[in-house]
Amino acid sequence: MADYRNHRAKRLKPAFGERKPTALTTAETRDWMAAQDELVEAGLIAPKTVNNALGVLVACLNQAAEDGLIPVNPAARVQRLPLEPAERDWLRLHEIALYLDSCSPTYHPLAATLIGTGLRISEALALRWDHVELDRRAIRVYRSHKAAGEGATKGKRFRSVDVGPGLVEVLRDLKARQGEQVTFDPRESHVFVTPLRRRKAELGRWQDRGAGRPMDRNTVSRTCCTSSRRSSTAPA
């Protein structure tokens, strides 16, 4: 019981607050696990501790499902972190062009930004146009996308990242295309948003269904994986 209280106070409550079980989603739980994974990479917490905290959350939601408070447990299929260090499969230099060519036009600017700047996905999704200085070829990183909204970056420090001329043109074109679709305020509008969908065959969302909102981290992750598989199976 002491472990339950400890995990709730230190890890679950700060992330989810006093949310009711009926309001918690699988996407939020996965975002929380992704944030915990970053802490593990930084050496601030052990993966076993994170998995134990997830176990507490799963147990609580299992009870809520048994009591009929929720139809299913949204955390039941969230994967636990590996306990043994595994070598990460980074992109090699010769794979970059092929990977970018495999991305859809919707996600290509984000992929190019991640590769060209080294930003984390959470940092890129929190970028606003006010943080992008195209004339100075620089991006100012202030915030990070988190399960409960936006917050400080992993290191809790502002930094400026230089941008190459190729990426500047990609971002300039993206900004122009966004300006044609929706009216936005550079101080408030995110750089990477869900595009406006005008026909069923197009990617994006309808005007009244989320067009112009920040891209979803889980959707982006799945898209990145799909592009990676396409590039790995493309002929040399």
Q: What is the pLDDT of residue 236?
A: 47
On whether both 139 and 55 belong to a single domain, the answer is no
DSSP reduced 3-state for 228: helix
Using CA atoms, how far residue 220 sits from 12, 104, 133, 200, in Å, is: 25, 11, 24, 20
pLDDT value at residue 39: 85
DSSP 14-60: HHHTT--GGG--HHHHHHHHHHHHHHHHTTSS-HHHHHHHHHHHHHH
Please say if the pLDDT value at position 5 is more than 90.
Answer: no
Are both 54 and 114 inside the same structural domain? no
Residues 98 and 22 in one domain: no
> Which residue range is the domain that position 100 belongs to?
93-195
If asked whether residues 50 and 109 sit together in one domain, one would say no
Give the model's pLDDT for residue 229: 54
DSSP collapsed to 3 states, 158-194 = CEEEECCHHHHHHHHHHHHHHHHHCCCCCCCCECCEC
- 138-158 pLDDT, tens digit per residue, is 999 988 877 667 777 777 788
Residue 234 has pLDDT above 70, yes or no: no
Other Cβ atoms less than 10 A from the Cβ of 141: the count is 20
Residue pLDDT, tens place only, 25-51: 899 899 899 888 888 887 788 899 999
Reported as a pLDDT band with limits 50, 70 and 90, residue 199 is low
Whole-model pTM? 0.56
DSSP 62-127: HHHHHTTSSSS-TTTTPPPPPSS-----PPPHHHHHHHHHHS-TTTHHHHHHHHHH---HHHHHT-
Same domain, 60 and 101: no
The two tokens of residue 102 are 């495999």
Percentage with pLDDT > 70 across the chain: 75
pLDDT score at 211: 46
Q: Are residues 30 and 115 in the same domain?
A: no
Q: How many domains does the chain have?
A: 2
Asked whether the predicted pLDDT for residue 170 surpasses 70, the reply is yes
Average pLDDT on 190-218 reads 61
Does residue 80 lie within any of the structural domains? no
